[in-house]
Structure 1
Amino acid sequence: MEFTGFPVAALDFYDDLEVDNTKSFWDAHKAVYDEQVKAPMVALTDALAQEFGDAKVFRPYRDVRFAKDKTPYKTHQGAFVGVAPATGWYVEVSAAGVRIGGGTYLADGSDLALIREGMAEEKSGKRLQRILSGLERGGFEIAGDRLKTAPRGYDKDHPRIELLRHKSLLGMKKYGFEPFVHTEELLVRVREDWRKLRPLVSWMAEQIT
């Protein structure tokens, strides 16, 4: 299937799902999900696979075993291309439109320690700062969970303490409802922005592989 954009029906589907997140709604609209959401996402990630790698298109079902929120379905469709543990590129469609990103979304103890070593080291830490500054100038938001204080073993006056507080680090960009998300131009935009995110993805992967 050739990618031609996410139909308006894909965003409308998630608008309605946020109002009625039930099995009865899902069963009645599963064909809309399959044809208007999942199929375009698979087509988009297939078109990007030769350059970036195969994507994992996430299942639409929430794991509610230990959650207070028992609504059964995710209110977005995401896909992820991994190059290292929890590190790679991301694309998502939801009622809020389309957004993309790249970096490390979750680091465990040992991987996080290695990432922080790279942030603290003068040469690699400054390289990361240059990468992030370039992304911000290019319209990306630098996101990720952060500690409120300095991580254990690092001085609060470290010149890169703001980086060291990160537990995850991502460059994100929201396309929202821009008209191009409904056309084949979205493929061009995602490819270009994933390329811009490659230095960040590569930096993060270098630390933990």
Structure 2
Amino acid sequence: MSQIFDFLSELRENNNREWFNDNKNRYKAALSEFEGVVGQMIASIGQLDDAVRLLEPKECIFRIYKDIRFSKNKEPYKTNMGAYLARGGRKSKFSGYYMHMEPNGSFLSGGIYLPEPAVLSRVREDIDLYYDDFINIINNPSFKQHFPELHGDKLKTTPKGYSKDNPASEILKHKSLYVARMLSNNEVNSPSYIAEATETFRALKPFNDFLNRAIEDL
């Protein structure tokens, strides 16, 4: 991933339109390299999950251009490359597989991030109804090895309609519900990156399946 990391490292130090335009060919080369990696990941994950199998990289990759209209940080470009592998691509409401490349900040992730209220409500219903199943998934040793904790901002109190004594109370407070495995630069640059990422996402799949069964009913 040398072209990706080299370009992003320099972009971090020169996050302005003039530098970016002067280095547009380097950006295109880095993006092409990333598209190739995403294509390999789609092929690999597609053997585990049919919902991913027919995706195209360009459906999954997020733009590098930032929306700075409502942001205090006016730097125009992201200093990472990311792709979301889920049915429908990067704009999907479904839980999927996220790959993020950034010098000293790469990770693999999955789950639901700031979902629409209807999606979050439906997921909470299933966590409440099938709490034991959910706990068994996130406590599975293979899952724990890759994803030791759940992430996501939480409400201060149990959401309306659920008792504070509900055994699922702490999980139901989540406004986002996702997991992540951080990666070193060496792990991303390793020839075994695709294989290792595939095994990480294999452990993630039951978590995605649980969330998506709820979302499919919408």
Q: Where on the TM-score scale, by shorter chain, does this alignment land: which range?
A: 0.7 to 0.9
Counterpart in 2 of 1:3?
Answer: none
Alignment equivalent of 2:37, drawn from 44, 57, 73: 44
Provide the identity percentage: 28
Give 1:102's match in structure 2, choosing from 97, 102, 110.
Answer: 110
After superposition, what is the alpha-carbon deviation per residue over 1:22-42, rounded to whole angstroms, capped at 9, x for unaligned?
A: 011212222222223x12221
Q: Displacement of 1:175 after TM fit?
A: 1.0
Partner of 1:138: helix, strand, or coil? Answer: helix
1:160 equivalent in structure 2: 168
In the alignment, what sits opposite 2:25? 31
CA deviation string 1:90-123 (max 9, x = no partner): 00111224211111123211111111111111xx
Give 3-state SS (helix, strand or coil) of 1:120's partner: helix
TM-score, normalised relative to structure 1: 0.87
Confirm or deny: 8 A CA contact 1:103 1:171 kept in the other structure. Answer: yes
Partner SS, residue 207 of structure 1:
helix
Q: Provide the TM-score with structure 2 as the length reference.
A: 0.84
Q: Secondary structure at the match of 2:86?
A: strand
Of 60, 79, 82 in structure 1, the residue corresponding to residue 83 of structure 2 is: 79
Shift of 1:189: 1.1
Correspondence for 1:69 among 66, 73, 83 = 73
One-letter code aligned to 1:42: E
Alignment partners' CA distance in 2, 1:115 and 1:31: 43
Cα distance in 1 between the residues matched to 2:153 and 2:143? 17
**Alignment match, 1:125:** 131
Unaligned runs of 5+ in 1: 1-5
Separation of aligned partners in 2, 1:46 and 1:105: 23
**Separation (CA, whole Å) in 2 of partners of 1:138 and 1:162:** 22
- How many residues are aligned here? 199
Q: Distance in 1 between matches of 2:189 and 2:15?
A: 24
Q: Judging changes above 3 Å, is the alpha-carbon distance between structure 1 residues 136 and 190 closer, same or farther for their aligned structure 2 residues?
A: closer
1:41 and 1:191 map into 2 onto residues whose CA distance is 16
| Aligned-residue offset at 1:86 | 4.5
Q: Does 1:205 align with 2:212?
A: yes
Q: Which amino acid aligns with 2:131?
A: G
> Conserved in 1, the CA contact under 8 Å of 2:143 and 2:203?
no
Bigger relative contact order (CA 8 A; separation at least 6): 1
The RMSD of aligned alpha carbons is 1.8
Cα pair 1:89 1:101 within 8 Å, conserved: yes
* 2:189 counterpart residue number: 182
* Richer in strand (by share): 1
